[in-house]
Structure 1
Amino acid sequence: MTTLPPPAGRRRGPSPFEPLVAISPRARVTLGVSFFVLFFALWGGVTWGGLVKPLFLADPARTFAAGWRLLTEFGFAGDIAITIGRVVGGFVVAAALAVPLGIAMGAFKPVEAFFEPFVSFARYLPASAFIPLLILWLGVDEAQKLAVIFIGAFFQIVLMIAVLIGETRRDLVEAAYTLGAGSRGIVTRVMLPYAAPQIAETLRLVLGWAWTYVIVAELIGADAGIGHMIMDSQRFLDTGQMIFGIFLIGAIGLVTDLGFRAVNRFFFPWQLGR
């Protein structure tokens, strides 16, 4: 008997390689871990196989041995805590000021017209370019590192949140007006709940950028922190310590990102439950 093809418009079942088709949490974890296994296998192959000299790329065993030495003999845990404190401090200050301004810009067009040209201009300025000026203005203490993170995060958050608030569905706003809501009620009871999941995701993304800014700030004019350790290791050509520092930044960022995702899923399960 000849098998006829399925009628048009009917599918035999979703394939995991079709756009936006969800996969199970177990499959997601398995695939994510598989990439790291493959990465470390390739890394070990090119280093232990002699394809790259240890001077240019330390092997995995040497890298983690260098990291263990840093933690047990040189008090590297203190540097890690300092860097995390800088990231959190600069990011929290930036978010605390940027979120209200972004909401005001997205909700009220006169506020947007006043601030948007400058914010759009400033967000293209690289935070690292301000480091020499910030050292002159603030010295090499903590204020300078926090200022670098603030400059790098503040303008991005403002503009992204303004866009999210401005995309609130007009029919929801009109319905709220019909029910007697005023301008304040529109913002607090329509716009904010509508955009809250996307605002949380925006903050999660910008927190990742804050790690880039703090390491750049610590590479210049710092006497502690992960970036400072990486620069010291470069002077001694210790690629093991340098790679460990870079990996540690990624590991802390990954843990932070997963924590942020979990919090977002808890508060906004209808949009961020994947």
Structure 2
Amino acid sequence: MKYDFRLRQPVGRKTYLTISVATFITVILGWSLITASGLVKPMFLPELSSVFANIMEGIKDGSLGENTAISIYRITMGFLAAAVLGIPLGILCGCFKKAEAVIGPLCEFIRYMPVPAFVPLVMVWAGIDELAKIVVVFIGTFFQMVLMIADDTASVPEDLLSASYTLGTKRWATIFKVLIPAMGPRIMLTLRIAIGWAWTYLVVAELVASNSGLGYTILRAQRFFHTDAIFSGILVIGILGLITDRLFALAIKKMFPWDERSDA
């Protein structure tokens, strides 16, 4: 059946994967053609072969594995701290208007502040060790997460809550036994988005007196105009981010197979 580009028209899984793979192949071919033609100097856009050679060199000498491991640790700790604090506060904000009046405007205000501007303050507050990097990732994800979880909470149908009251549940029982299970898929989708922010703020976090990590390798390569090393670092972060996203998508599908968004 011919695809007519109607809004939200579904496509088969095979067609979706074919289009996705073809898009990546097109980008790679375009990159290769541009660099091979000599239209762009290698200092601005290196050849793919040199980028992959840099990655392989990092694998062989072990530096890539070490930097990847420390970056994953920093992101994981910052993200978990944001989730542990952000999810309860977001639910509280979405359930009670007085809590929203306290939490909502403050988070709305802070989330527009540029995270890099906090780096000097973080160095004063948390020093220059691992805690400082974790705090930067936390700042970059926490305030957005609180607001999104609050929206997720508010999106639970009022009829569902009313039905639970009719069946005799009290306020806190309704929250824990009805509201939170109902918003489970949305919470996971919010976390899936938030982990993307964590990877985005990795380079910012590793501005804080770092001598290791993927962000650090990119910044070090920038000083010496090693564009191939910059691209290899960006590529590795992109691959790790994609893997993380797919893991969240798989978890959502396994945890909530009945939810239509679990096929994303």
* TM-score, with length taken from structure 1: 0.92
Residues 125-180 of structure 1, C-alpha deviations (whole Å, 9 max, x = no match): 22211001111222221111000011111111111111111222111111111110
Alpha-carbon distance between aligned partners in 1 of 2:246 and 2:192, rounded to the nearest angstrom = 10
Q: Does 1:52 align with 2:40?
A: yes
- 1:77 aligned partner: 65
- 1:8 aligned partner: none
Which structure has the larger Rg over C-alpha atoms?
A: 1
- 1:68 aligned partner: 56
Alpha-carbon distance between aligned partners in 2 of 1:163 and 1:68, rounded to the nearest angstrom = 44
Alpha-carbon distance between aligned partners in 1 of 2:221 and 2:33, rounded to the nearest angstrom = 24
How far 1:220 moved relative to its partner?
4.3
Task: Identify which of 5, 20, 37 aligns with 2:25.
Answer: 37
Which deviates more from structure 2 when the two are superposed, residues 16-25 or residues 241-250? 16-25
Contact between 1:134 and 1:147, CA under 8 Å: does it hold in 2?
yes
Task: Identify which of 152, 165, 173 aligns with 1:164.
Answer: 152
- 1:243 aligned partner: 231
Q: Does 1:256 align with 2:244?
A: yes
The amino acid of 1:79's aligned partner reads: N
Q: Does 1:185 align with 2:173?
A: yes
Matched ranges for 1:186-225 at <5 A: 186-225=174-213
How far 1:35 moved relative to its partner?
0.8
Identity of aligned residues (%): 39
Alpha-carbon distance between aligned partners in 2 of 1:54 and 1:119, rounded to the nearest angstrom = 43
Alpha-carbon distance between aligned partners in 1 of 2:186 and 2:24, rounded to the nearest angstrom = 29
Matched ranges for 1:16-35 at <5 A: 17-35=5-23
Is the partner of 2:41 in helix, strand or coil?
Answer: coil
Which deviates more from structure 2 when the two are superposed, residues 219-228 or residues 205-214? 219-228
Is the partner of 2:206 in helix, strand or coil?
Answer: helix
Taking a change above 3 Å as real, the CA distance of residues 122 and 178 of structure 1, as seen in their structure-2 partners, is same
Q: Between Structure 1 and Structure 2, how many residues are aligned?
A: 262
Q: Does 1:110 align with 2:105?
A: no
Alpha-carbon distance between aligned partners in 1 of 2:150 and 2:14, rounded to the nearest angstrom = 36
* TM-score, with length taken from structure 2: 0.95
Alpha-carbon distance between aligned partners in 2 of 1:134 and 1:49, rounded to the nearest angstrom = 46
Which deviates more from structure 2 when the two are superposed, residues 191-200 or residues 39-48? 191-200
Alpha-carbon distance between aligned partners in 2 of 1:72 and 1:134, rounded to the nearest angstrom = 35
Runs (4 or more) in structure 1 with deviation over 6 Å come to none
- 1:4 aligned partner: none
The amino acid of 2:126's aligned partner reads: L
Any stretches of 5+ residues in structure 1 without a counterpart? Answer: 1-12
- 1:6 aligned partner: none
The amino acid of 1:244's aligned partner reads: S
Contact between 2:75 and 2:137, CA under 8 Å: does it hold in 1?
yes
- 2:262 aligned partner: 273
Alpha-carbon distance between aligned partners in 2 of 1:185 and 1:160, rounded to the nearest angstrom = 23
